[in-house]
Chain A
Amino acid sequence: MPEPVIALEGLTREFPADPPVRALSDVFLEVLPKDYLAIVGPSGSGKSTLLNVLGLLDTPTSGSYRIDGIETTTLRDGERTKLRGSRIGFVFQSFHLLAHRSVAENVMLAEVYRSRGARERRNRRARALEALERVGLSHRVDFLPDRLSGGERQRAAIARALMGGPSLLLCDEPTGNLDSRNTGAVLDLFDELRGQGLTIVVITHETEVSDRAQRRVRITDGVLVEE
């Protein structure tokens, strides 16, 4: 059995209040390589908290979270940041593309904070173009994001997430700002990427998206249930 990409054991996240708010309660989850997992649930169910914990943006109150076998809950802030930069590719609902930079520059941004040699730096644009080709956006390389359609923007954001070969593509409502046609295109892209061996976790409340995933877990009031 291969090493799981994500392994959550007894994960709990409480927010300090009176009484404490338990956003995640004793969560167990294993995501294997090449898994395509959808996390569904109504708003306020703890979806976002789970995403933040999975993305190493937030630390759980208790429990264990291993990514590629590395225990993350005991890591210091700087190490978690490094791990986040190298192992996780984020895809956001609102794309988060820098408005004043071309599509290629936005994609290249993914490598700015990874310490690599000077030679790697020189080939960065070539790798960005490669990533853009993977998402079918070669014809928009030097466009500014505001000249792209919503679907194209999300594909550019996915290309950015693909730079440097992450272990996990973590998507937060990736189709939330897209119409049905663009949604279909992005979902087709996910299928394709999964076919290339990528591990994908999608958080969504749209059934259209979750239906395409091979695995589905539902989160309700912080409790995770496999469907």
Chain B
Amino acid sequence: MDLRDLLNEAMAGMLARPVRTALTTLGTVLGITTLVITLGVAATAGNQIVGRFDALTATTVTVEVAENAKAAVEWDAVDQVTRLRGVTSAAAVAETKKSANLSVRSNKIIDPTRVTDQTLTVVATSTGLPGAVKGSMIQGRYFDAGHLARQDKVVVVGEQAAKMLGITRPDRAPAVFIGKHAYTVIGVLGAMQREKNLGTAVMVPPTIGKRFGIKDVTRVLINTSLGAADLIARQAPTALSPGNEAELQVIAPPSPTRARDAVQNDVNALFLILGLVSLVVGAVGIANVTLVTVMERVAEIGLRRSLGAARRHIAAQFLLESTLTGLTGGVIGASLGILAIVAVSAAKQWTPVLDLRLALIAPLAGALVGLLAGLYPALRAARMEPVDALR
């Protein structure tokens, strides 16, 4: 038997009852659509999740100075890092265990109804801190080189610290007492995207920090442009402290691909099971209808046998019919699924992520479903005795 004849007969058999075939296909369409949507949306959504913390962490490099290394990094070494190509902002931070619990008050009045003494962290920072933590000055300003040069007794407080201390109007130059000395608050720093704990801290210039024993840089915060993090992580120690690189520990973002895999694997496993279940339902539908069709076409099977069709010809025809039905469902399902992914992405303003392999494999999966579903009905058709079939 010519293969073209086989295909021709199968197509004719499939199209003989178009409405039924369409309804039969529906199960596979739903299954494949579900599969494509779940896989596609999972990939798309997974990519968005990664995209979000990419922007934050993939550009973040932190250099920690070993505790026992005295003065490994000078305060003005930050300028050397800022000069590196790929660095968008950098700042040095100094804190000690002692400075983490300093008593800070906003005034000397003893008010029995309020807690005026707060235990806050005091950190010394270089002038570029607001940029380095990607924060912004809610009120006032950050101290600059001039404050440092003059050794001004100024501080900047974090947003939560300001609330705790009751500081609302830095423009009126309120004072806070750290220990026994008063300092002028010149600004409130908030909306930090990294080092969020600085929200409850009091930032002082390095020149003031010495008084509280925070003298040496303990940490350098660096932000890089996208993709430069790896390079900067390698260059920063040398730039900060030539010859003392061993004393510095660089914390670089994890490889972005690995993060993406971790997220997708979790999401995909769940969705995949969902899609496969729908496919099984589709297969049962095809098997059911093909079996009914075989029973209805007993006379036709008998006729074909009388015309010289062998059992394998009969089996091949029904198998091909169910496979084509599945393939049709797969093609329609894949198309609908991809459309749905694009629609969901458009609604959520995501970038749709379409795996080309998915678009190609989905119709094949439909065909496979049809093939498997057709096995039993085809076997039944082939086993039929021509005498019985023609009765």
Q: Which residues of A contact B168 (CB under 8 A)?
A: none
B308's contact among A58, A98, A114, by CB below 8 Å, is which? Answer: A114
CB proximity of A117 to chain B, nearest CB, Å? 9
Cα–Cα distance between A85 and B16 once the two chains are bound (Å): 25
Q: Besides the contacts A112-B5, A113-B313, A118-B2, what 14 more A-B pairs have beta carbons closer than 8 Å?
A: A52-B387, A57-B387, A90-B307, A92-B390, A100-B16, A101-B12, A109-B304, A109-B307, A110-B307, A112-B307, A113-B304, A113-B307, A113-B309, A115-B2
Query: B305 near A77 (CB under 8 angstroms)?
Result: no
Partner of B302, one of A77, A88, A96, A114: A96
A-B contact pairs, 26 of them (CB 8 A): A57-B385, A57-B386, A58-B387, A77-B311, A78-B310, A81-B309, A81-B310, A81-B311, A82-B308, A84-B306, A88-B306, A90-B307, A92-B390, A96-B302, A98-B300, A99-B16, A101-B12, A112-B309, A113-B307, A113-B309, A113-B310, A114-B308, A115-B1, A121-B4, A121-B5, A160-B307
Q: Judging by beta carbons under 8 Å apart, are A57 and B306 in contact?
A: yes
A86 CA / B306 CA spacing, docked (Å): 10
CB-based contact B387/A81 at 8 Å = no
Question: How many A-B contacts at CB < 8 Å in the complex?
Answer: 72
B273 within 8 A of A: no
* In the complex, chain A residues 83-133 whose Cβ is within 8 Å of any chain B Cβ: 84-86, 88, 90, 92, 94, 96, 98-101, 105, 109-110, 112-115, 118, 121
Q: Kindly report which residue of chain A lies nearest to residue B303, judged by CB atoms.
A: A96
User: Known contacts A77-B311, A98-B300, A113-B313; is A55 also within 8 Å of B5 by CB?
Assistant: no
Assuming the contacts A100-B12, A113-B1, asked whether A90 and B306 have C-beta atoms less than 8 A apart, the reply is yes
- Distance in Å from the Cβ of B284 to the closest Cβ of chain A? 26
B310 lies within 8 A of A112 (CB) = no
CB of B299 within 8 Å of the partner chain? yes
Which of A's residues lie within 8 Å of B, judged by CB? 52, 55, 57-58, 77-78, 81-82, 84-86, 88, 90, 92, 94, 96, 98-101, 105, 109-110, 112-115, 118, 121, 160
Query: Chain A residues with Cβ under 8 A from B308's Cβ?
Result: 81-82, 84-86, 113-114
Shortest CB distance A85–B (Å): 2
The residue of chain B having its C-beta at the shortest distance from the C-beta of A124 within the complex is B5
Report chain A residues within 8 Å CB of B16.
98-100
Q: Check if B79 is an interface residue, CB within 8 A of chain A.
A: no
Q: A52-B387, A57-B386 are in contact. Are A121 and B2 (CB under 8 A)?
A: yes
The one of A85, A86, A94, A121 that contacts B309, using a Cβ cutoff of 8 Å: A85
Residues of B within 8 A of A101 (CB): 12
In the bound complex, residues from chain B placing their C-beta under 8 Å from that of A92 are 303, 390
Residue on A with the closest CB to B306?
A: A90
B245 within 8 A of A: no
Partner of B1, one of A94, A105, A112: A112
B5-24 interface mask toward A, CB cutoff 8 Å, 1 = contact, 0 = none? 10001001001100000000
Nearest chain B CB to A168 CB, angstrom units: 13
Query: Of B9, B306, B386, B390, which one neighbours A112 at CB under 8 angstroms?
Result: B9
Chain A minimum-CB-distance residue to B6: A112
Known contacts A82-B308, A85-B308, A101-B12, A57 near B300 by CB under 8 Å: no
Report the bound CA distance from A78 to B390 in whole Å: 18
Q: Which residues of A contact B306 (CB under 8 A)?
A: 55, 57, 84, 88, 90
Given contacts A96-B302, A112-B9, A115-B1, is CB(A85)–CB(B307) below 8 Å?
Answer: yes
* Nearest-neighbor residue (CB-CB) of A81 within chain B: B310
Contacts of B313 in A (CB 8 A): 113
- Residues of chain B within 8 A of A100, CB atoms compared: 12, 15-16
Contacts of B9 in A (CB 8 A): 112
Cα–Cα, bound, A86→B309 (Å) = 11
Q: How far is the CA of A113 from the CA of B12 in the complex (A)?
A: 16
Question: CB-CB < 8 A to B300: which residues of A?
Answer: 96, 98
**Complex: A96 Cα to B387 Cα, angstroms:** 14
Which residues of chain A have C-beta atoms less than 8 A from B385's C-beta?
57
Task: Return the 7 tightest CB-CB contacts between A and B, nearest first.
Answer: A85-B308, A100-B16, A113-B308, A96-B303, A113-B309, A57-B386, A90-B306
Within 8 Å CB of B5, what residues of A? 112, 121
A88 and B308 alpha carbons, distance in the complex (Å): 9
Q: Which of B1, B299, B310 contacts A96 (CB 8 A)?
A: B299
B residues less than 8 Å from A118 (CB atoms): 2
Q: Give the residue name and chain of the B residue nearest to A87 (CB).
A: B308
Of the listed residues A90, A92, A112, A121, the one surrounded by the most CB atoms of chain B closer than 10 A to its CB is A112
Q: Nearest chain-B residue to A59 (Cβ)?
A: B387
Q: How far is the CA of A160 from the CA of B308 in the complex (A)?
A: 13
Residue of A nearest to B302 (CB): A96
Chain A nearest CB: distance from B167 CB in Å? 87
Q: Do B307 and A57 have beta carbons less than 8 Å apart?
A: no
Bound complex: CA A127 to CA B346 (Å): 58
